[in-house]
Amino acid sequence: MALTGLVLAGFVLGHMSGNLLMFKGPAAINEYAKWLHDHAGLLWAARLTLILSVVAHIWVGIQLTLENRAARAGGPADEATRRASIASRSMPYSGVVILGFIVFHLLHFTFRTIALGGVAHGDDVHAMVVAGFNSKPVAVFYIVSMLLLCLHLSHGVSSVFQTLGLRNERWRGRLDGLALAYAWIIAFGFSSIPLAVLTGCLK
């Protein structure tokens, strides 16, 4: 769970960095998209790694959820559940919404089977993104999904430190703070694009 989570946490940082090229203008984001497609081997290697990581992450997540529920027959497990954070307790639910978002996101921007407003933009990624987020329901769904991703990451990244044996009582607060800061950076970075479109800053 920790290792696949680490792969996915690294991916969202790289993906966000690429997406933020939207603020540099159409040429920057379109050239970036062209570079990715010109290096198809590298792109598909990354995609396969991500697919395997997502499948493994979901599978192990389901197993852990079932094991945790089975352990809550009473006693200390109940007390631990009451002390758990909202982020920790909501991991399965935020994960389901994020999975739904990923499917929609891929259909919209990668496979382009969803052309909002009946418009296809070809290789103009900038125009496609702006058109997509001009739909308020899509933009709001995107932002809400990013807030849930923030919740998911804040607990997940912190748990990675613990699983890898890097977190102790002395460093617990600092590492939890680092995980929370990382989660908010990711959420704000991704959400800034639909917010910029909705407010007219990106056209």
Structural domain spans, the chain? 2-198
Predicted pLDDT at 178: 92
Higher-pLDDT residue of 47, 71? 47
Q: What does the pLDDT look like over 146-201, one tens digit per residue?
A: 999 999 999 889 888 888 777 777 778 888 899 999 999 999 999 999 999 999 99
Angle between helices 26-38 and 125-133 (to 10 degrees): 120
Average pLDDT of 136-146? 94
For residue 109, give the nearest of 83, 135, 73 by alpha carbon.
135
Confidence check: pLDDT of 25 > 70: yes
Amino acid, single-letter form, for residue 134: N
Q: What is the percentage of the chain residues whose pLDDT exceeds 70?
A: 89
For residue 133, give the nearest of 145, 147, 143, 123 by alpha carbon.
143
- HEC secondary structure over 63-99: HHHHHHHHHCCCCHHHHHHHHCCHHHHCHHHHHHHHH
DSSP 22-66: GGG-HHHHHHHHHHHHHTHHHHHHHHHHHHHHHHHHHHHHHHHHH
CA atoms of 7 and 183, how far apart (whole Å): 15
Q: In this structure, are residues 7 and 53 in contact, taking their beta carbons and an 8 Å threshold?
A: yes
CA atoms lying within 13 Å on the CB side of residue 9: 24
* Position 83 confidence tier, pLDDT thresholds 50, 70, 90: low
Q: What is the percentage of the chain residues whose pLDDT exceeds 90?
A: 52
Average pLDDT of 105-128? 75
Q: What predicted TM-score, i.e. pTM, was given to this entire model?
A: 0.85
Exposure string over 127-160, b if 16+ CB within 10 A, otherwise e: bbbbbbbbbeebbebbbebbbbbbbbbbbbbbbb
Predicted pLDDT at 84: 64
